[in-house]
């Protein structure tokens, strides 16, 4: 008699192999039989032809603070995610010296747009070292598993104090390498760093942004001493010779997987192909340099409750910005206020901000259901031209829809041709992995934790403006492949002996809701979340944690430590 039997499921096992129909049996939290008739079970779930997939493994999140207070790790748990990897982009909360917590919060708030008030209120700081942080994570049961990476900014701040943004002395570099090795030996699954000017806080660029290759290679040697670990980074320079040189050297001398964010850049729309070819060449040399790509454009969501929208720096809007939303909408609908908003120039000299908020050919209504592959003729610029109106008028009309809760979609990258063809090319390349959902981060502007669900709704079922993906491949990309990249050998596929992390999905009924702003973080902090329908059940270690979108109260999730 099995502990659990899932009857009559359409099994998509995460290996990329063909779909089959049958039962799956679970005992002691692990899969013990797959396919055919598995016999009786103490508990039975009747799939009745629903999809049964492995739980999604999301390798790029920023739940480093949230996991210390939120056992449900929302919204990722709503979307079938059963394992998250945190600590990406070089930011996080350990190690930390007593009295230095505010600095790490301010860096995280600036880089990842997580309300500092929520982090101050929610984090209990029962650690100093990274091993102590892991122990604290392990003590709290959750609905899913978490894995942590050690962040460069925190390591630099711990070693260098107020000099964290400056050049490190040789003994400080040695200390950083020792800390990283200690963290990975204790169970951190990798080390991360940021090398992009887009990541900054009120203190300036993230500590480590301009660290020399010698520092990064020394840290890599620390990882090699631990015998494991992934090196993750986001950089503006991965196409440059100097950056490629040290990345290849690090991969060669450590044997580690080096993964970095890759997208189609508007200023170099074909450069991503060079990166794919480079990854293929390096794989031929036995090196693991793995571009990390997303399954939809990372897109800002402009709205009257968001961190940005086209009028947010206009003097007329700034005079209204502190009013409750309903009153703001009422005022903005008045003809004289509309006229002022449309006629004013943005009240900022920041060229990046001005450009982001006025790329009228790259701003679209998101809609409900949300459309993440809108055609060019749906843009603000195109609609304004057809209606013989100013783009600002069209954008303002859209922002005021749904009583001011409507959102505009503004892709940042990978939307040069205003379709997903480049994204498809990147995500289906054999040397890439899926990531960049940023679950837990960018609370006021980006809402991409739903990407695993989007893989099924858009790429398998609904896409109409280009080729779709086979179901088996889509599932593999978010399970078997992501798990393998981080050395999670006990999950990611439905096979005997594997951990019973599973999703039971009604593919026909799977539906993404429009994102919405909620104020449920500690201290009333805001965040964008995106609901979903169609997940009939999510299981972690054989226990049903979510059923028809509702938590069951079961919390079998814990900490995933790296394995030697």
285 with 215, same domain: the answer is yes
Structural domain including 35 reads 2-54+506-551
Q: How open is the CA angle 155-161-165, to the nearest 5 degrees?
A: 75
The CA-atom distances, in angstroms, between 503 and each of 28, 78, 435, 540, 550 are: 18, 11, 19, 9, 14
Query: Which tokens in the block code for residue 542?
Result: 């054989």
Q: Which of 218, 208, 220 is nearest to 174 (CA)?
A: 218
294 with 305, same domain: the answer is no
282 with 160, same domain: the answer is yes
* Domain stop point among 411, 437, 456: 411
The CA-atom distances, in angstroms, between 320 and each of 333, 339, 342, 483 are: 12, 15, 15, 48
381 with 437, same domain: the answer is no
Q: Which of 431, 493, 541, 446 is nearest to 61 (CA)?
A: 446
d(CA 385, CA 392): 12
516 with 469, same domain: the answer is no
87 with 180, same domain: the answer is yes
353 with 316, same domain: the answer is yes
Helical residues (DSSP H) of 123-270, grouped into ranges: 130-139, 152-160, 170-186, 213-226, 241-254
The domain tally of the chain equals 3
Q: List Cβ neighbours of 482 (8 Å cut-off, separation of 6 or more).
A: 57, 58, 59, 433, 434, 435, 492
50 with 182, same domain: the answer is no
d(CA 450, CA 476): 17
Rounded to the nearest 5 percent, the helix, strand and coil shares of the chain are 35, 25, 40
- Is 235 a domain residue? yes
294 with 183, same domain: the answer is yes
Tens-binned pLDDT, residue by residue, of the chain (564 aa): 999 999 999 999 999 999 999 999 999 999 999 999 999 999 999 999 999 999 999 999 999 999 999 999 999 999 999 999 999 999 999 999 999 999 999 999 999 999 999 999 999 999 999 999 999 999 999 999 999 999 999 999 999 999 999 999 999 999 999 999 999 999 999 999 999 988 888 888 999 999 999 999 999 999 999 999 999 999 988 878 889 899 999 999 999 999 999 999 999 999 999 999 999 999 999 999 999 999 999 889 999 999 999 999 999 999 999 999 999 999 999 999 999 999 998 887 777 777 778 899 999 999 999 999 999 999 999 999 999 999 999 999 999 999 999 999 999 999 999 999 999 999 999 999 999 999 999 999 999 999 999 999 999 999 999 999 999 999 999 999 999 999 999 999 999 999 999 999 999 999 999 999 999 999 999 999 999 999 999 999 999 999 999 999 999 999 999 985
- Is 205 a domain residue? yes
- Is 494 a domain residue? no
- Is 369 a domain residue? yes
168 with 249, same domain: the answer is yes
259 with 306, same domain: the answer is no
d(CA 47, CA 544): 14
354 with 463, same domain: the answer is no
Place of tokens 């009857």: 7
Query: Which tokens in the block code for residue 153?
Result: 């900014």
């Amino acid at each position: 008699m099995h502990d659990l039997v899932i009857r009559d499921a359409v099994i998509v096992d995460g290996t990329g192999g063909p779909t089959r129909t049958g039962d799956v049996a679970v005992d002691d939290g692990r899969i013990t039989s797959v396919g055919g008739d598995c016999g009786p079970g103490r508990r039975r779930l009747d799939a009745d032809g629903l999809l049964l997939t492995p739980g999604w493994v999301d390798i790029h999140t920023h739940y480093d603070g949230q996991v210390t207070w939120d056992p449900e790790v929302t919204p990722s748990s709503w979307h079938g995610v059963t394992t998250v990897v945190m600590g990406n982009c070089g930011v996080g909360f350990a190690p930390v010296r007593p009295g230095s917590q505010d600095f790490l919060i301010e860096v995280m708030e600036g880089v990842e747009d997580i309300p500092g008030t929520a982090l101050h209120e929610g984090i209990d700081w029962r650690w100093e070292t990274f091993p102590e942080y892991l122990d604290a994570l392990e003590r709290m049961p959750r609905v899913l598993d978490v894995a942590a990476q050690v962040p460069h900014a925190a390591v630099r701040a711990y070693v260098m104090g107020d000099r964290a943004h400056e050049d490190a002395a040789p003994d400080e570099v040695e200390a950083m390498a020792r800390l990283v090795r200690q963290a990975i030996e204790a169970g951190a699954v990798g080390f991360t760093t940021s090398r992009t000017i887009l990541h900054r806080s009120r203190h300036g660029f993230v500590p480590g942004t301009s660290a020399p290759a010698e520092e990064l290679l020394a840290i890599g040697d620390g990882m090699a001493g631990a015998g494991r670990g992934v090196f993750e980074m986001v950089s503006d320079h991965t196409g440059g010779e100097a950056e490629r040189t040290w990345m290849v050297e690090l991969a060669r001398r450590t044997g580690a997987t080096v993964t970095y964010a890759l997208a189609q850049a508007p200023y170099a729309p074909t450069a991503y192909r060079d990166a794919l070819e480079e990854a293929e060449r390096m794989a031929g040399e036995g090196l693991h340099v793995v571009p990390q790509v997303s399954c939809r454009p990372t897109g800002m969501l402009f709205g009257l409750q968001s961190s940005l929208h086209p009028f947010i720096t206009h003097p007329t809007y700034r005079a209204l910005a502190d009013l409750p939303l309903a009153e703001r909408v009422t005022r903005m609908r008045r003809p004289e206020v509309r006229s002022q908003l449309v006629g004013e120039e943005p009240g900022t000299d920041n060229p990046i901000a001005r450009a982001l908020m006025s790329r009228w050919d790259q701003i679209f209504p998101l809609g409900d259901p949300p459309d993440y592959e809108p055609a060019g003729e749906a843009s603000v610029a195109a609609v304004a031209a057809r209606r013989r109106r100013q783009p600002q008028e069209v954008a303002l009309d859209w922002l005021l829809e749904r009583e001011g809760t409507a959102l505009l979609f503004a892709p940042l990258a990978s939307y040069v041709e205003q379709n997903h063809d480049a994204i498809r090319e990147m995500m289906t390349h054999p040397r890439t992995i899926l990531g960049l959902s940023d679950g837990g981060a960018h609370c006021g502007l980006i809402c991409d934790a739903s990407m695993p669900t989007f893989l099924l709704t858009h790429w398998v079922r609904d896409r109409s403006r280009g080729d779709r993906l086979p179901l088996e491949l889509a599932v593999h990309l978010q399970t078997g492949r992501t798990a393998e990249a981080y050395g999670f050998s006990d999950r990611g596929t439905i096979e005997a002996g594997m951990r019973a992390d599973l999703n039971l999905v009604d593919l026909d009924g799977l539906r993404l809701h429009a994102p919405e702003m909620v104020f449920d973080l500690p201290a009333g902090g805001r965040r964008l979340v995106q609901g979903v329908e169609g997940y009939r059940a999510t299981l972690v270690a054989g226990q049903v944690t979510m059923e028809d979108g509702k938590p069951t109260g079961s919390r079998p999730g814990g900490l995933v430590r790296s394995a030697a």
